[in-house]
Amino acid sequence: MSYFINPDEEAQCVFLNYEDKMPPIEAVAVRYEAGALLAARHWHRIVVDVTRLRSIPTAMDLFKLANGLSADLPPGARVALVVRPEQARHAKVVEGVARDGGVLLTFFLDAEKAAAWVQGVRHSVRTQLQPTAQ
């Protein structure tokens, strides 16, 4: 399994990207590494991207991953889970179960939107005003 843990000082967020395969024992080790980094820096934000995995994680795989990551986070922490479109149905279930358990987890199909959400950035729609004729 390949993975990348990228701390972003400016955003105070950890970006965790999984690639290739994800054996459960290795996923747990990576989870502890990412959690330790968050704790050491006193951060409360993480984006987990599983879109580059060769296999498609089941709903249970996604839930274990998300639940494990959020288990060590303080209240109010944000977890953004980025999945492929074919994983959306499973991710929706994971999101609902996690939120029922008090974890602020949301899934996304787009990594940029996930990063914006986890940082609390709101997208606003601006209407352009037409110049008035004089």
Q: pLDDT, tens digit, for every residue of 70-88?
A: 666 666 778 899 999 998 9
Whether the predicted pLDDT of 44 surpasses 70: yes
Q: What is the pTM of this model?
A: 0.80
Note the pLDDT tens digit of each residue in 93-103: 888 888 877 77
Nearest Cα to 21, choosing from 46, 51, 67, 54?
54
Q: SS3 letters for the chain? A: CEEEEEEECCCCEEEEEEEECCCHHHHHHHHHHHHHHHHHHCCCEEEEEEEEECCCCCHHHHHHHHHHHHHCCCCCCEEEEECCHHHHHHHHHHHHHHHHCCCEEEEECCHHHHHHHHCCCCCCCCCCCCCCCC
Domains, the chain, in order of start with CATH, read 2-118 (3.30.750.24)
- What's the mean per-residue pLDDT of the chain? 80
